[in-house]
Structure formats: C-alpha cells, structure tokens
Structure 1
Amino acid sequence: MRLPSLIALAFLAATGGSAQPSDPLAPLFAPAQGDTRATLLLRDGRVVEKRYAPGYSDANRFISWSMAKTITGILIGALVTDGRLQLDAPAPFAEWHGAGDPRARITLRQLLTMSSGLRHTEVGDPIEASDTNQVLFVSGTQNMAAAAMAQPLAVPPGTRYEYSSLTSLLLAEIVTRTLTPSRDPRIRALAYRRFAHDRLFAPAGIASAVMEFDGAGTQIGGSLIYMTLDDWGRLGQLLIDGKGPTGAQVIAPAWLDTMRHPATTSGNYGAQIWLNRPESQGKPVMYPGAPQTAYSAEGHLGQHVVVVPEARLVVVRLGNTREGEIGRVHAAIGGIIAGQLHR
C-alpha cells in the first residue's frame, strides 16, 4: 500500500527524494540526513533491515548521548518496583532537607518528568553558558551530581517542564545511594554496574553496554552509555512490553506505563522517555506519519530508538547530524514507520 500523499511528500522532501522500497532504511542515508552511521529496523524482534555507513560495523559501540536517560529511568523503575524508592515521595537527598529548603518538596516523579523546578540552562548561548556543558566537560567532572544538586529552585516543583541532563544525573545518584552507602567511587561504580547488569542488560540480552562514571563514581546517566547497534535494538525491543528475549519480565508493566504516561507539564515527555504526541495543542508530533502511540529514547546529534508497540516495530538511527537539521531525521523516521504500517 502506498503512503498517504501528504506523508509521502514530507518524507521525500526530508530524504532528498531517495526513498527505495527495496531498502526501507535508505532514506536515512540521504544527504539531507547528515552523518547517519548505523540503522536498524525490527518487527516482532526480527531484523527487517540493518545498514551501516562505510567504516562502521557490528564491532562499533555507539554513544547514547541522552538516550542514556531512558536507561536511567528503567533502573529507577526497578528500585520503585522493589519498594526501595517511592515515586511521589520527596527525592531522598539529605542536602535538600535542611530547615526551610524549598527543594525538600521535589519528588522523584518530578525529577523523572523534568518538572523539578530547579534552575537550569541545557543549551546556552554562548555554548559555555550551558550548565550541562560546564558540568560534563569543564568544572563539574569530579562530582557532577553535587553540582546538579546545588542548583536553587527557579519555579515551584511540578509547575514547569524544563529539559535537564543534570536532572538525570541526580536520578543516577539516587540509584547509587539506594544501592550502597559507600562514598568510595570504585565501590559506588561497581554497585551501579552490577545492578544495571543484573536488572537490565543481562535479562534484555544486552552484552556490549559500557557506562561512564564521574570522579565520584556517579554514572553519567543523562549522557554517556555506549552500545552496539544490535543492543540498541534490543533496548527498543524491551521497551515494547518490558520483556526480554526469553520472555522474562524485565520492566514491570506498571513501570512501563509510568514511563510512557505524559508529564503534567508536557504533552510529549513521560518519565525519561519521549512521546510522539504534541507538546501542546496545535504543535506537531516529533515523528510525522508515525502514530501517537510511538515513543522513543533520543539523544544529541540524532540518536534515536523509536518504538511502535502495537506493531511491535523498532527503528534505530545512530549518527551525527546538526541540531538544526534533526527535523529531517524525524521526518524520515516517521516516513519509514508509516511505510511499515501501510504495507
């Protein structure tokens, strides 16, 4: 079946008119897409198409950038499911619970949905004005969570959506403190690695994951995890129904529902995951042509793991595309999904 005309026109415009029915991923390698390095299309866990740019292969691990946030959200969910964390309780930071500190009202849910109210500049102008860049690459590398935790409130908690990589660092710190009371960076990092391996990576069939930690042993949970293309596909497959390749439940159904439920402050963001819904009334969806039931892990420079649960469809795109051109990548992914749904 052919795509509806409006979707098809947008799809061809985004891809430079290079769609090839015999290779559904070809549009992501059109010149307008920037530097696409690896792509994967899965249906019901089976490979429909897999393609690398020259110089890349199964031997490569690809950076997550902000796709790491979704992994952090899954690990928080495992602790909530175990009863070790409470979703609507105040975030367990003693540093925020001094007399009269308004940050004591920030809940775990508000951190997950980027609604904490903490002051933050994700993308600064000039670039060094970015809080995220300062913490990741300049002055905060020895203790990133401490730098994030020191921020004051800009607005009351739960009243405004503010995308923040530092918020995800705080979530990773919560995971670490829940697992171990140690302040030894090596012990903290080891506890985190073991937990991530046992509760997520191993049961999901993911063998290539490499996680980066700061000088304090906090996993850089908003930005820096590396995996192969196939393992990013396995993460997408896991996000369909929370089940690993053996059928074991890795993500509790209730937690998966929590992740993909829209935040009260934003229509297109859940709990550390993006939703293919309008941000607000009259706004476009992220992936035109894809259903609004789709959701995704998404990272800087065009890293995408997109899931359509009812079709058991996963699209992975990894590469390096300028932020001002990412809309073309979104349109191409939406077109690929629409093409698969209308076959």
Structure 2
Amino acid sequence: MPRYKLLVGATAISMILASCSEDPQPAPEVSAPAFEQIADDAAPGKARLVEAIAPFFEDPALAETRALLVMHGGRIVAERYAPGYGPDSRLISWSMAKSVTGTLIGMMVADGLLVLDDPAPVPEWSSPGDPRAKITLRHLLHMSSGLDHTEMAEGDKAIYEADTTRLLFLDGRENVARYAEKRNLEANPGSKFEYSTATSHILVDIMTRTLTDSSDPQVRRKAMLDYARGRLFEPLGMASAVPEFDRNGTMLAGSMIHATARDWAKFGEFLRNNGSVRSAQLLPTSWTRFMKASSTNDPAYGGHIWLNKRRPDGSDQVLFPGKAPSDVFAALGHLGQFIVVSPQHRLTIVRLGKTADSDLGPINDQLAKLISVFPKN
C-alpha cells in the first residue's frame, strides 16, 4: 500500500488551504452522470427515488455532489456519481474519520486495553499537579476535554491562525499529537463542549502508544494500521480505506481517511447494525449505545458522532432536527461529507462532495426529504 504523506512547502500549503476554503464554488454544469443505478423495486418506487436524488446533482444551491449512495435494508437501492467520479473513486473523509476513531477506541475498551472513565494515559499530562490529568477518554470522545482549541478561524483571524490548520498543515504537521497534547486547559474537564480535530488525534496517539512502546514512526504507523485493518476495515470489507499518517507515525483519523462511497456506506451500516457485520458482533452494543447517546454539554453530539437533536442556544444547528426522527445519527465532514443513518427507516445514506460549510442548509433539507420517501419499520 502506498505511503501517503502531507504536502509541505509554501506553495503546497497554499493549495491545500485554498481547497479547504468555505467560499462557495460555482456549481458545475449538469451533465449525464458518470454512473447511476436505481433499483426497480426500491421501496419508494423508482421514479420517486430518482426525483429525491436529482437535486443533489442538479440544484445549484446544493453545490457539488460527487457521490450519493443509498442503502435500504442492507442493500444498495440507489447510487449516482458526478462526471469524473465512480464506484472506485476514493474520496476524503474529512471529519467523518472521527467516527472511525470513536469506533476503534470502543474496540480497545472492549479488548480491555483502555478504560472509558480512567484518566487518559497521556505522558504530557502526568506531572504532579497537572490539571490535565483529570481528562478522561469520555471527556475526549465527548469533545469536552477543556483543552484550549480553535477549530476554525474566528473574527478577524486568518485561516492559518486556527489550530486545525496549524495542526494539519503548518507548525503541528510533523507531530500532530504533540501539538494537541501540549495545549493548556481553558475550562475544567467535562464542563464545556469544544469541537476539536486535535482531540481526535490525541485519541489516536493514545491508541498507538497502547499498541506499541516504540517511538519509531514506522513501527507506530504499522501498529495502528494493522489494528485498524484487522479489527475494522477488513471485517467490514472496506478494502479501499486508506488513512494518512504524520511523520511521527500518528494516523490522521480526525480528518484524513480516504475510501469509496460504497465502503463509507459499509461503515454506516456497521453502526446501524449496532456493531455487527454478517452476524459477527465486532463491537459491543453497549459501545454503540454510548456513541449514540447525547453528551452532557451538547445533546447533538455523542461519542464522536453527531445526533439529530437540537443544540444549545447560540450553537449552529447540525443535521435536521424536527424534519427526521431524533434517533438519526451521522458521521459528518468538512465541505459536506455525510454518512447519515436512520435506524427507523433501515437507511444508510452517503453524500460526498464539496459544499461550503456555511451553505449546508439545502443539503440537510434534501437529505431529510430523501429519508422521508422511505417507509418506517
């Protein structure tokens, strides 16, 4: 498998930051899809399903959809790709990867390697009197560690001043875990929700150090990759999944896993089936319940996964509360990456593309409409 490295250099970084920009992009001209299949016996009826899918590719308000896949009752009933993409196209996860991280942590907890409510085993926080020693895995999974973090540029700050940009592309890129773990507290652990890509990389570093005592980047990389493949990707049949790593051998599972839409759907189905695949229970149902239960500080966030519930006053709403069942959950990523699961409808929907984060309202509305054309159990 090829080794994926972060691009370096001023020119490369400029290109990356430009690609991450949330400025709306002109919608491409609609042309014949590169690949499209709709099941003749789909529950809503083929014509109705075609009508519900078309806006993702044809409505300029939804910007650029590159792939849309719908699984109902465990089988693909609809699949469409924009020109230039197809069933074999690996597409980036962005923050959908965080839900992969939450799942892998659950497997380590089930293996007895980690404990949810023990202090997180981070050497940087182990000095006597360090208040960060009170941070637990639960706090990290709920994005409530209290660590100082700015996910996106705020106010008059430039994009390169945000912690996530620095972490992935600038001064933190060589060793993302070190950058993240050196942050000081801005709130007591467990008291404040703060969405943080850095938090997910702390969790990956914890997993990696649990698997190996070595500081050799190649050993670290192999240990984490072997675990992710052996426990998750291969049993689910996610053969296309390719995670990126930093130069210290830390998997960038807060934002950079590449896979096909079909394989992202397999991950969604795995969670819809409460951690089982082909009758094999790979993840305890107690862990999937934990992932899908509201955290203390934000009802719309669980254990590294988003929930279809209203957020506290002052927070931007996520998904579509009130327009679809409250037990809908989703892995979400920058620029409109979605794995949406509706247990009541036996649905997993994958939408991958490029839509500015500030313009996701029409995508959310159309996803809710797509869910609604299917019958409930």
Give distance in 2, aligned partners of 1:121 and 1:340: 39
Q: Deviations over 1:282-313 (max 9, x none)?
A: 98662252111000000000000000113221
Aligned-partner SS, 2:327: coil
Aligned partner letter, 1:299 = G
**Correspondences of 1:154-303 after superposition (within 5 Å):** 154-280=186-312, 286-288=319-321, 289-303=323-337
Aligned-partner SS, 1:25: helix
* Aligned counterpart for 1:122 among listed residues 145, 151, 156: 151
Q: Which moved more, 1:238-247 or 1:304-313?
A: 238-247
**Correspondences of 1:78-89 after superposition (within 5 Å):** 78-89=107-118
Partner of 2:9: none
Aligned partner letter, 1:33 = L
How far apart are residue 89 of structure 1 and its match? Answer: 0.5
In the alignment, is the contact (CA less than 8 A) between 2:148 and 2:185 conserved in 1? yes
Aligned-partner SS, 1:305: strand
Partner of 1:317: 351
Question: What stretches of structure 1 of length at least 5 have no aligned partner?
Answer: 1-19
* Aligned counterpart for 1:25 among listed residues 43, 53, 58: 53
Aligned-partner SS, 2:280: coil
Partner of 1:35: 64
Q: Deviations over 1:161-213 (max 9, x none)?
A: 00000000000101101111110101111111110111111111211100100
In the alignment, is the contact (CA less than 8 A) between 1:241 and 1:253 conserved in 2? no
Give distance in 2, aligned partners of 1:339 and 1:230: 21
Q: Which moved more, 1:165-174 or 1:310-319?
A: 310-319
Aligned partner letter, 1:84 = L
Instruction: Kindly tell me the number of residue pairs found equivalent between the two proteins.
Output: 324
Percent of aligned pairs with the same amino acid: 45
Partner of 1:5: none
Partner of 1:11: none
Partner of 1:138: 170
Question: Is 1:72 the equivalent of 2:101?
Answer: yes
In the alignment, is the contact (CA less than 8 A) between 2:275 and 2:285 conserved in 1? no
* Aligned counterpart for 2:119 among listed residues 86, 90, 96: 90
Give distance in 2, aligned partners of 1:116 and 1:243: 26
Distance 1:26 1:129, change over 3 A: same
In the alignment, is the contact (CA less than 8 A) between 1:148 and 1:167 conserved in 2? yes
Aligned-partner SS, 1:329: helix
In the alignment, is the contact (CA less than 8 A) between 1:212 and 1:220 conserved in 2? yes
Give distance in 2, aligned partners of 1:193 and 1:224: 13
Distance 1:46 1:321, change over 3 A: same
Aligned partner letter, 1:293 = D
Q: Which moved more, 1:274-283 or 1:219-228?
A: 274-283
Aligned partner letter, 2:132 = R
Aligned partner letter, 1:36 = T
Partner of 1:9: none
Partner of 1:337: 371
Aligned partner letter, 1:113 = H
In the alignment, is the contact (CA less than 8 A) between 2:345 and 2:376 conserved in 1? no
Give distance in 1, aligned partners of 2:68 and 2:60: 15
- Over the residues paired in the alignment, what is the CA RMSD in angstroms? 1.6
How far apart are residue 129 of structure 1 and its match? Answer: 1.6
How far apart are residue 91 of structure 1 and its match? Answer: 0.4
Q: TM-score, normalised by structure 2?
A: 0.83
